[in-house]
Structure 1
Amino acid sequence: MLNQLLQKLDEKKERMIEIRRYLHQHPELSFEEEKTSQYIAEFYKDKDVKVRTNVGGYGVVVTIEGGLPGKTVALRADFDGLPITEEADVPFKSQNPGVMHACGHDGHTAYLMILAEALIEVKDQLKGNIVILHQPAEETPPGGAIAMIEDGCLDGVDNVFGIHLMSLANTGEVHYRAGEMQAGRSYFKVKIQGIGGHGSAPHTSNDSIVAASHFVVAAQTIVSRRINPFDMATVTIGSFDGKGSFNIIKDSVELEGDVRTMSNEVRATVETEFKRILAGLAQEFDITYDLIYSHDYPVLVNDEEMTELVSKAINKADIPEIKAVLETPPASASEDFAYYLQKVPGSFFYVGAKPEDGPVYPHHHPKFTINENSLIIAAKAMAAVVAEYFEQ
């Protein structure tokens, strides 16, 4: 079956690229992907599968029923874009002003659509069922995975797999990791309230900018002095909104940012210390504050057995386009695929997509682009995983 799948994927490679380019030209933001969802659903309309639309929002769930009894495995790809104006010099540039696919989700969707088509064509040989999860809204919390799960997308599913294309990893490489692979994320917003006044008489006021500035510095000691050096944590203040007139003491400022951790214990420690510093700040500077502190995407934890299956399957398949299958260190980025892994065992892995020529840009950059050869590599790698899964 795997040889048939690989041959079919080779025959469909150009269509895969065409789909990716169409999606790249028509990106939509998280929770606004109505047309993309319709495009995906239309692709499956005349195929011998069950299709559910509007799953947890704009999600599309496709069930491929195999010809033989067995387990059910889910494959997931996300399809939302980002609020970025594209600067990449490509002929299929985004046609939606201020929105672009700057993270490779167009490639994820294109490879999975074509892989699904190939799997449908050999479905009589499948020893079980395959559920294709086309997920919206990965980029923006609370993310699309939660709503799809609540709407039953994992009902009856035994295991789940997903791929992310990586622009900074060499094309031809596949990267895997068992256990903790991507960080959990928390969000905070703090309004520090002082007493405003005239710049010439600071003693009659209570300067919120001074208090907030002390907090910015103190918050960095959470990682440097409260977290074990062998544990991972970041505290980032990405917004300090204190703009005003040069001779006016601001009565309030707002800070906004995020926290990344690789364990629930460290996540709890950061939150506790964060709030302790704020409480001390209120006493030291005689200010008050309002705090929003919330946890969104959890730590992404790959199942040991399913990850071993991934590395074994891809090595065993001996796919010509794949030059190396490598264990990767954990990443500090977050990913809502973690929610699927909290429900069923599975594995999330990376496929290198570094462009052959020119400068290489990271994900979420306005000049982000990928090597389109990574699409066929992703499709073949996942095909190998599916074939090995049903063989076992």
Structure 2
Amino acid sequence: MKMIHELIEEVKDEVIGWRRYLHKYPELSFQEEKTAQFVYETLQTFGDLEIIRPTKTSVMARLIGQQPGKVIVLRADMDALPIEEENDFDFVSQSSGVMHACGHDGHTAMLLGAAKILTQVKDQIKGEVRFLFQHAEELPPGGAQELVAAGVLDGVDMIIGTHLMSTLPFGKIGLSYGPMMAGADTFRISVVGKGGHASQPELTIDPIAIGTQIVTNLQHIVSRYCDAQETLVISVTQFHAGSAINVIPSNVRIGGSVRSFNPNLREKIPTYIERIVKGITEAHGATYEYDYQFGYAPTINDEEVTKLLDEAVCEVFGEKSREYIKPIMGSEDFSAYQKVVPGSYIFIGARNGENGIIHPHHHPKFDIDEQALQFGVKLFVHGTLKILN
């Protein structure tokens, strides 16, 4: 019987090939029909898997071990982004305006590699492994909550997810106990005033002057409304007003993003924002419309699951590869699974400055060091066997 390290080495080129194929043919969120079909057909070649399609553009395969035990889910996302790729390698995107600019092609390939290997060592598995290929991570409300509703976590004890990171050098694996990624919410504000000629502002209710006061005062929420030790970001990212240089418009549209970790603080932010908007608009005789949308919740890693993975990382890669990282303000719908079962989300270093792999996620020249794919496969395989056995 072949050893696990031999199986991992054997699948290396295949994993890279899968990643390159997926990179060449990306699909946007909720449109991953060909991607899902490719994953489905590839899984069929492994044997011993019960494969289902929980939603139109997702796939889940179940590997049931020969002995009873826990049930663990390994998750990969599959969707691409609406970005025109600017790379020039052989497997550049063939879909105009669509690109795998966040590493999801690599995530899918790594999980396929892990599924192939674990299927071959089925006799060593106590319990059940579910390989979950998720659609639509990039576009709220996201695919994770759809899959939870479809029952993919029924009977599950824990879930593991990974992300290839361009901010972390190849050879490093990033772990975090507790908060890992922030919750991400959005707001939209419309200030309704009274337009008029720029030469007669006294006859108007100037929504631009009012809107700029709102933007300025929103920053007081972070600096004066909450504990200085809390992590909170409120960014105004849109301000639309006017169409002519000599006209004061009748309304202004403001939009922005809120990032936080503390669930209690997160619930208060909509009220804080509206209090400021209401006070300023009333003071100047204007009215307003306000919409606040809660997006992905914070990704908070379970202590016990993370500890087991921490041990697996040290055993397989050595302590020098492990890196404890600070929580980041990006967001992930992996949090939808963590609301239901304990889970841990891990970063795999994919940056290589010597090879020019330096561009951030969502950049038109984003790429990964493909050596990192083997790290992901190893982590999935050894982490699974450690937890289940």
TM range (shorter): over 0.9
Task: Give the Cα separation in 2 of the matches to 1:364 and 1:26.
Answer: 17
Residue 357 to residue 318, structure 1, CA distance change in 2 (3 Å): closer
Q: Deviations over 1:8-60 (max 9, x none)?
A: 1211111101110111111111111111111111112242211111x244111
1:73-222 matches, within 5 Å, as: 73-222=72-221
Please report how far the alpha carbon of residue 272 of structure 1 lies from its aligned counterpart in structure 2 after TM superposition: 2.1
On the 8 A contact 1:57/1:148 being kept in 2, the answer is no
2:339 match: secondary structure: helix
| Residue 372 of structure 2: aligned partner | 374
1:296-315 aligned within 5 A = 296-315=295-314
Tell me, in whole angstroms, the C-alpha distance in 2 between the residues paired with 1:349 and 1:115.
Answer: 16
Are the aligned partners of 1:6 and 1:383 in contact in 2 as well (CA < 8 Å)? Answer: no
User: 1:389: which partner in 2?
Assistant: 387
Q: Report how many aligned residue pairs link the two structures.
A: 387
Which residue of the other structure, out of 329, 332, 344, is the alignment partner of 1:332? Answer: 329
The residue that corresponds to 2:351 in the other structure is: 354
Return the offset for 1:325.
0.8
Question: 2:340 aligns to what?
Answer: 343
- 1:48 pairs with 2:45: no
TM-score, structure 1 length as denominator?
0.95
Which piece of structure 1 moves more, 140-149 or 283-292?
283-292
Please give the alpha-carbon distance, in whole angstroms, between the structure 1 residues aligned to 2:11 and 2:37: 22
Deviations 1:179-214 (A, max 9, x none): 111111111111111111111222211111111111
**1:99 & 1:15 partners in 2: Cα distance?**
24
Q: Distance in 2 between matches of 1:90 and 1:216?
A: 43
The answer (yes or no) to whether the contact 2:33–2:57 under 8 Å persists in 1 is yes
Moved over 6 A (4+): none
Tell me the residue number matched to 2:34. 35
TM-score calculated relative to the size of structure 2 = 0.96
Gaps of 5+ in 1: none
The alignment partner of 2:268 has SS state of helix
Task: Kindly provide the amino acid, as one letter, of the partner of residue 344 in structure 1.
Answer: V
Give distance in 2, aligned partners of 1:360 and 1:318: 23
Relative distance call for 1:56 and 1:243 in structure 2 (3 A) is farther
The residue matched to 1:111 in structure 2 has which SS? helix
Q: Is the 2:33–2:56 Cα contact (8 Å) retained in structure 1? A: no
How far did 1:243 drift? 4.1
Partner AA of 1:69 in structure 2: P
**Are 1:25 and 1:95, in contact at CA under 8 Å, matched by a contact in 2?**
yes
Mapped to 2, the partners of 1:207 and 1:90 lie a distance apart of: 52
Alpha-carbon deviation of 1:146? 0.1
Once residues 200 and 90 of structure 1 are traced to their aligned partners in structure 2, the CA distance between those partners, rounded to angstroms, is 57
SS in 2 for 1:138: coil
Q: Identity over the aligned pairs, expressed in percent? A: 39
Counterpart contact for 2:60–2:130, Cα < 8 Å? yes
Please state how far the C-alpha of 1:318 moved relative to its aligned partner: 4.2
For 1:274 and 1:89, how far apart are their aligned partners in 2? 45
- How has the CA–CA distance of structure 1 residues 323 and 309 changed in structure 2, closer, same or farther, with 3 Å as cutoff? same
Q: Is the 8 A contact 1:192 1:252 kept in 2?
A: yes
